[in-house]
Homo-oligomer: A and B are copies of this chain.
């Protein structure tokens, strides 16, 4: 089986979030016939792996196996150097059931203060996995390095964007024009790799 995604291929996106599915469709330039795991009522697997790539692969495998379709999944998060890489794969979980990233950002600030560390380096990671049912899977990872800043600034983007200033920039991802953020984001870098590999 050649690892090529033909235009028009039906792909299940392993997310139950319609906004995320729409965003993925745009990134994929509407080249594919996308359905979501939510639309197909697929169960969401537990994210039991210890790495972004491992969890993206696990989610893509589960969706491909349950649907019989090629599946795309992502896993992403923020890693803070002075916190040993936390929250990392737990980035979404730190925001809790209500997805309150204000709480999660406050926790990072608090943990950094408690640790006494002055090192504010951090990086975002986005892992993407494409799995063929009963076949191979392709996994890529994009990263962007930067520094944290407190208090949070900007109401664009989502998640931890308002406390993250990419290297060489002065604005946080929360303040940046979407097109400017897209030009350097972990997610864009992961998709660029995936496109280069599979399209």
Q: How many residues of A contact B (CB 8 A)?
A: 23
Q: For chain A, what secondary structure do more than half of its interface residues adopt (helix, strand, loop), or is it mixed?
A: mixed
Contact B49 A2 (CB under 8 A): no
Contact B1 A136 (CB under 8 A): no
Q: Which of A51-59, A79-87, A164-172 participates in binding chain B? A: A51-59
Q: How far is the CA of A3 from the CA of B2 in the complex (A)?
A: 9
Q: How distant is A169 from chain B, measured CB to nearest CB, in Å? A: 22
**Hey, which chain B residues are within 8 Å of A140, CB to CB?**
135-137
Tell whether A163 is near chain B: CB-to-CB under 8 Å.
Answer: no
A25-50 interface bits toward B, Cβ cutoff 8 Å, 1 = contact, 0 = none: 00000000000000000000000111
Q: How distant is A117 from chain B, measured CB to nearest CB, in Å? A: 25
**Hey, which chain B residues are within 8 Å of A48, CB to CB?**
50
Q: How distant is A27 from chain B, measured CB to nearest CB, in Å? A: 17
Q: Known contacts A138-B3, A138-B138, A139-B137; is A61 also within 8 Å of B53 by CB? A: yes
Q: How far is the CA of A61 from the CA of B141 in the complex (A)?
A: 11
Q: How far is the CA of A81 from the CA of B66 in the complex (A)?
A: 20
110-147 of chain A: CB within 8 A of chain B: 135-140
Q: Known contacts A49-B50, A136-B138, A136-B139; is A1 also within 8 Å of B61 by CB? A: no
Q: Which of A7-15, A16-24, A99-107, A190-198 participates in binding chain B? A: A190-198
